[in-house]
Structure 1
């Protein structure tokens, strides 16, 4: 089976200019992930796990290496050198990203946020509203909150909303950066159900989890940061 994403010799460093210091976050990271598979990235805190995810999403721009992605719109594309307009298109239509934190426009309601995710992909308003409501119900976000602004939400509510926004699109590639960090067991199970459904539908996933029990039975492979190697589960 062909790889959906392939990383070759990735290196990312950060420079603190006022101290004139450069710190290497990740170095010589290489792996390939087949379409429809789930890779869990594991390692101690500070080992660079989130940096890998952010380089794929192009929140960070690496200094060296390549990240090849088999895009539906553009074919094989290097996410490191791709034009910004192509990256924006991929984020809207093909690549989803879930972090621990919710960043939203002010004065946008909970329902509108999830609807916007679908409208970006070309869904009509009726379909966007219907699927947004289904996603919010699945993640137990009370209907009384749908017309509220999420900056008033608890950490767990914000995280569940973040997951709903990313997964409602059924992305081709979904990046998960500690998506269950502040969730209770019941909410974690909801996330697990969505991941299983997406995977069954062909979505490829890369995820970081400190909760190794949550990863049991979900991941096809793990990438060990310390040894810089990939293992089949």
Structure 2
């Protein structure tokens, strides 16, 4: 079976003070095999992030199914999974990279990355070694390793966010604008780690406004305007 299948997915939001219900997205269909990468493109407000957040179950879908081939639970509909199941999946199988960093206060960047590995059952020594490797890969200044991230720039926070998610080598990785505030060199580092994760079998769903970054990286491209998969051609994708 597919690693991930999104079937007739829909999500709506209720604006209570206006007594109105808005359809954020509807009739979304796509599937991914193990190790594939799909890029979702479209204008701001078209519902791209809503899809990712619903797969991660930050949002609860209103229609359709999101079927994930879990190592622990087998075929599971994420829209109907229990909170306990979702907590397990987020901890061990599904990673999420946001543009924003939301972490425990008074925890250093080194501790945050190491903690991600400790949760996976790594020894303390191995966790700290791998954490340093990840921080070096994403070129986070070593002076910041033992600093609190609330003092970091937007780009530094994003690089730390990516390090925390990718160091766990998740089976499914969701990327919400992972290169939004990065310079060219940092984008290359992100691309390198995505290629490595893909080669090791990680399945990925990503949102990008940087079309050049997607070239040759995604196996599939889903166009929110057309509501279908499109060929990965700059002319088609760029106008989405």
Which TM class, normalised by the smaller chain length?
A: over 0.9
TM-score w.r.t. the length of structure 2 is 0.95
User: Counterparts in 2 of 1:168-187, with a 5 A limit?
Assistant: 168-187=167-186
Structure 1 residue 30 corresponds to structure 2 residue 29: yes
Q: Which residue of 2 aligns with 1:57?
A: 56
2:123 & 2:73 partners in 1: Cα distance?
24
User: Counterparts in 2 of 1:106-185, with a 5 A limit?
Assistant: 106-185=105-184
Superimposed CA distance per residue, residues 142-175 of structure 1 (whole angstroms, 9 cap, x where no aligned partner): 1111111000000000000000000001110010
Structure 1 residue 93 corresponds to structure 2 residue 122: no
* Offset, 1:45: 1.1
1:217 & 1:119 partners in 2: Cα distance?
34
Gaps of 5+ in 1: none
1:134 & 1:191 partners in 2: Cα distance?
14
1:6 & 1:120 partners in 2: Cα distance?
27
User: Counterparts in 2 of 1:71-86, with a 5 A limit?
Assistant: 71-86=70-85
Gaps of 5+ in 2: 233-240
2:231 & 2:115 partners in 1: Cα distance?
37
- Paired residues, number: 232
1:3 & 1:119 partners in 2: Cα distance?
29
1:135 & 1:61 partners in 2: Cα distance?
32
* Offset, 1:231: 3.2
2:22 & 2:159 partners in 1: Cα distance?
33
* Offset, 1:232: 4.9
Q: Which runs of 4+ in 1 moved over 3 A?
A: none
Superimposed CA distance per residue, residues 97-130 of structure 1 (whole angstroms, 9 cap, x where no aligned partner): 0010000111111111001111111111111111
CA RMSD of aligned residues (A): 0.8
Contact map agreement 1:40 1:222 (CA 8 A) in 2 = yes
User: Counterparts in 2 of 1:195-210, with a 5 A limit?
Assistant: 195-210=194-209
Contact map agreement 1:220 1:232 (CA 8 A) in 2 = no
